[in-house]
Amino acid sequence: MEKEAVKLYDLIDYQSQKAILAEIKTIISLLDSDSIMDQFQSVYQDIIRLFNGEYPGYRASNTKYHNLEHTIMVTLATARLIHGSVKAGFQFAPENVLIGFLAALFHDSGLIQTKQDRKGTGAKYTIGHEKRSVNFMKKNLVKKGFSQQQIDDCAQLIKCTNLKIEVADIPFRCEEIKNLGKIVGSADLLAQMADRHYLEKLILLFKEFEEAGISGFVSEEVLLEKTEGFYKNVTQKRLTQNFDNIFSNMANHFKYRWNIDRDLYAESINNNIKYLKSILSGGKKSRLFYQQHLKRGTMIKESS
């Protein structure tokens, strides 16, 4: 396949957790951070267990948009963006690189219900789930012997995934941790919107919003119709202003890791938005219309 034709999801088998973990480990080695490998893998396996319902005291994940796949893809995007930023001249100590990875792994753990919580799904915690994520992170990392400074740094990075919090209001310990916060926050947005099934998954996101009582979206159709505005007014603003364009370093990763001189995340996002605009161009449509035009994966079936 010619490099010009390669798309984001052509690089590795994204359906394989083993393949994704192997790629993340490759990037850790490219960052000369092999010293963090054991600690990273220990937490990574705990997160797998948590989402699968195998972590003591917790139910399996039951939010179909913010699920294990999303968490793993955000972690991969974080690894790629750290690598791309290092190639752009940023410097990160291995122990801080680890905190960036851990923040990505923990950032949506607050959507997991405890064994005793049998009402509804974890989506009811959507508003404010970041605080629950930080609390779970603290309990896990304390057991693993992480220092208070590491735990505090990880908490600040998780806050960067909260769209309601301004980066300027987060008291980072140092500039290096602040830059990692920008990377994790950027990776959360990039991984979602570059997903090849992003538009289909918005139907699942509506179900989460509905249970959480988030206003402004009375139907799946309305959420789809507001997505381009979200991209322009929230995502792009956050990436370029709040996170100081650090996302632009992603292109360096593909250049040095894959010899591809393009930003495959940006291309995938643009393609998603372009296709969304094409199906919205004739005005508001029915749910049946969206079912006919958003067929990738099994999202429509899962939302029924």
Task: Tell which wins on pLDDT, 231 or 279.
Answer: 231
pLDDT digits (tens, 9 = 90+) for 140-163: 999 999 999 999 999 999 999 999
Check the CA dihedral 63-64-69-75 and report its sign: negative
Residue 73 near residue 167, CB atoms below 8 Å: no
* Paired residues of 58 in beta bridges: 114
Q: What percentage of the chain reaches a pLDDT higher than 70?
A: 91
In a domain, 6, yes or no: no
Distance from C-alpha of 170 to C-alpha of 160, rounded to nearest angstrom: 8
In a domain, 24, yes or no: yes
CA 193 to chain centre: 9
In a domain, 179, yes or no: yes
pLDDT band at residue 300, thresholds of 50, 70 and 90? very low
Give the position of tokens 């994940």.
61
Strands (E), 132-244: none
Give the position of tokens 């643009």.
270
Q: How many domains does the chain have?
A: 1
pLDDT digits (tens, 9 = 90+) for 224-260: 899 999 999 999 999 999 999 999 999 999 999 999 9
80: three-class secondary structure by DSSP: helix
User: What does the pLDDT average to over 122-131?
Assistant: 97
In a domain, 48, yes or no: yes
In a domain, 241, yes or no: yes
Check which CATH number belongs to the domain holding 198 and give it.
Answer: 1.10.1300
Q: pLDDT at residue 295 above 70?
A: no
In a domain, 19, yes or no: yes
Residue 193 near residue 269, CB atoms below 8 Å: yes
pTM, rounded to two decimals: 0.94
Q: pLDDT at residue 284 above 90?
A: no
pLDDT digits (tens, 9 = 90+) for 21-47: 999 999 999 999 999 999 999 999 999
Closest CA to 134 of 92, 95, 165: 165
pLDDT band at residue 219, thresholds of 50, 70 and 90? confident
Q: What is the pLDDT of residue 291?
A: 62
Using H for helix, E for strand and C for coil, what is the string for 32-43? Answer: CCHHHHHHHHHH
| Domain encompassing residue 172 | 14-303
In a domain, 255, yes or no: yes
Distance from C-alpha of 137 to C-alpha of 102, rounded to nearest angstrom: 9
Distance from C-alpha of 252 to C-alpha of 190, rounded to nearest angstrom: 15
Cβ-based neighbour number of residue 245 at 10 Å? 11
Closest CA to 299 of 226, 198, 190, 188: 198
The one-letter code for the residue type at 105 is L
pLDDT band at residue 281, thresholds of 50, 70 and 90? confident
In a domain, 267, yes or no: yes
Q: What is the pLDDT of residue 221?
A: 84
Q: pLDDT at residue 304 above 60?
A: no
